[in-house]
């Protein structure tokens, strides 16, 4: 279950060791910046340009290139892999050297500060850990169409801000749909203090998004997220819980309010990863979109009609039930004899 995995994953950012290692890798000039917005932008730039690297396929341990690798799929994780949270290990055979190079997908932020490489999962994990270590309220954000990034709370702006360390992007939440051409479905933010469905921050058209969200019952999902969020709030103690609750209600208002119009030109196609890899994923924006983009099942007009029909049916049933409930709730007044009514007139 994804929820449990990610709720657990974000807990490591609050461990002492993780914080100490994180603080030690950040350059002193970034530590010195006082303004949160400026500091985060500097952190993103440094992270992308000087700290982390992207790995589509690892380099062969012997010849040091990845030109002639054969993908072996997942290979068995060893004890060290498991110790650093790599339950998935990719194997590659160099056809020149005939040796196998392993690429463990580490989840441990401490380990990632050492290896400093990976794909968006590793990037987002390490970057979120850095933000937490530097004292920010930060969340790991999971996009069900296969991407991960960070959200950071900016005190001055009193709101959560989108940060994608791979690109890097700061406060450009519509990039995935407008720039990459994704069709987003579910996006959930995780921290040690809460779980929030933040999809609305990232979609152009909430109605079309709703159409695509047909994996699970909406009410069931909303209840589940709410229940877990409140449980995490309660674990923070009454004082902190009150702050979190207040912050959440402001966020909810923002998510469900109207959005400011932003010009399409402001959004770029995906920058991270090789061109071949990005095109294969259909994340190069308009013109390069293919049917493999996302896991959305709504692509054609017929799909929309089908879902619309379901929605109307559901709405009609809800209305009927509502009416039935109102019927029961209405107090039944005893009928008064006609004579009495006339007497009053």
Q: Which is nearer to Zn ion, 59 or 214 (CB)?
A: 59
Residue 147 catalytic? yes
CA-based end-to-end distance of the chain: 68
Rounded least distance, CB 75 to Zn ion, Å: 17
> Which residue is catalytic, options 18, 94, 120, 166?
120
Q: Which is nearer to Zn ion, 95 or 222 (CB)?
A: 95
User: Can you tell me whether residue 69 is helix, strand or coil?
Assistant: strand
For residue 147, give the nearest of 171, 177, 109, 117 by alpha carbon: 177
Binding test (CB under 5 A) with Zn ion, winner from 11, 50, 56, 62: 62
Q: Which residues on neighbouring strands pair with residue 276, listed in sequence order?
A: none
> Which residue is catalytic, options 81, 143, 164, 197?
164
Rounded least distance, CB 84 to Zn ion, Å: 25
Total residue length of the chain: 345
Q: Which is nearer to Zn ion, 66 or 279 (CB)?
A: 66
Rounded least distance, CB 98 to Zn ion, Å: 8
Residue 97 catalytic? no
Query: What is the spatial distance between Cα 46 and Cα 12, in angstroms, rounded to a whole number?
Result: 23
Q: Which is nearer to Zn ion, 5 or 70 (CB)?
A: 70
Binding test (CB under 5 A) with Zn ion, winner from 60, 86, 163, 203: 60
Q: How many CA atoms lie within 13 A of 272 on its CB side?
A: 26
> Which residue is catalytic, options 60, 81, 143, 147?
147
Q: Which is nearer to Zn ion, 17 or 99 (CB)?
A: 99
- Under 8 Å CB-to-CB from 22, ≥6 apart: which residues? 109, 113, 129, 130, 132, 133, 134
Q: Which is nearer to Zn ion, 97 or 268 (CB)?
A: 97
Binding test (CB under 5 A) with Zn ion, winner from 37, 63, 304, 307: 63
Residues 80-119 that bind Zn ion (CB under 5 A): 94, 96-97
Q: Are strands 117-118 and 53-54 parallel, antiparallel or unpaired?
A: parallel
Rounded least distance, CB 58 to Zn ion, Å: 11
Q: State the residue for tokens 């039944």.
A: 332
CA angle 64, 88, 193 (to 5 degrees): 120
3-class secondary structure per residue, 262-324? CCHHHCCCCCCCCHHHHHHCCCCCCCCCCCCCCCCCCCCHHHHHHHHHHHHHHHHHHHHHHHH
Q: Is 70 in the site for Zn ion (CB under 5 A)?
A: no
Q: Which residues are catalytic?
A: 120, 147, 164
Binding site for Zn ion (CB under 5 A): 60, 62-63, 94, 96-97
């Amino acid at each position: 279950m994804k929820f449990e995995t990610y709720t657990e994953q974000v807990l490591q950012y609050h461990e002492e060791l993780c914080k100490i290692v994180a603080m030690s890798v950040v350059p002193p000039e970034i530590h010195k910046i006082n303004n949160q917005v400026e500091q985060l932008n500097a952190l993103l730039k440094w992270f992308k340009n000087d700290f982390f690297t992207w790995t589509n396929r690892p380099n062969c341990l012997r010849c040091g290139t990845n030109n002639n690798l054969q993908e072996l799929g997942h290979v068995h994780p060893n004890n060290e892999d498991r110790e650093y949270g790599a339950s998935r290990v990719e194997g590659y055979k160099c056809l020149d050297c005939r040796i196998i190079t392993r690429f463990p997908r580490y989840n441990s932020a401490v380990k990632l500060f050492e290896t400093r490489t990976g794909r968006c999962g590793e990037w987002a994990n390490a970057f979120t850990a850095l933000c937490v270590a530097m004292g920010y309220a930060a969340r790991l954000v999971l996009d069900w169409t296969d991407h991960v990034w960070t959200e950071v709370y900016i005190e001055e702006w009193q709101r959560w801000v989108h940060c994608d360390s791979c690109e890097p992007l700061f406060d450009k939440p519509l990039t995935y749909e407008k720039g990459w051409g994704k069709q987003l479905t579910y996006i959930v933010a995780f921290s040690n203090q809460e779980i929030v469905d933040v999809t609305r921050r990232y979609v152009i058209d909430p109605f079309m998004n709703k159409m695509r969200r047909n994996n699970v019952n909406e009410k069931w999902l909303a209840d589940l997220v709410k229940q877990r969020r409140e449980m995490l709030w309660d674990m923070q103690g009454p004082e902190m819980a009150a702050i979190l609750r207040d912050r959440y209600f402001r966020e909810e208002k923002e998510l469900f309010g109207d959005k400011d119009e932003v010009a399409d030109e402001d959004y770029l196609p995906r920058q991270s990863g090789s061109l071949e890899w990005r095109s294969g994923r259909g994340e190069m924006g308009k013109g390069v979109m293919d049917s493999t983009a996302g896991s959305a099942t709504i692509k054609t007009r017929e799909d929309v009609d089908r879902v619309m029909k379901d929605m109307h049916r559901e709405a009609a049933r809800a209305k009927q039930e509502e009416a039935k409930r109102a019927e029961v709730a209405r107090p039944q007044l005893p009928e008064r004899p006609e004579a009495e009514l006339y007497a009053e007139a």
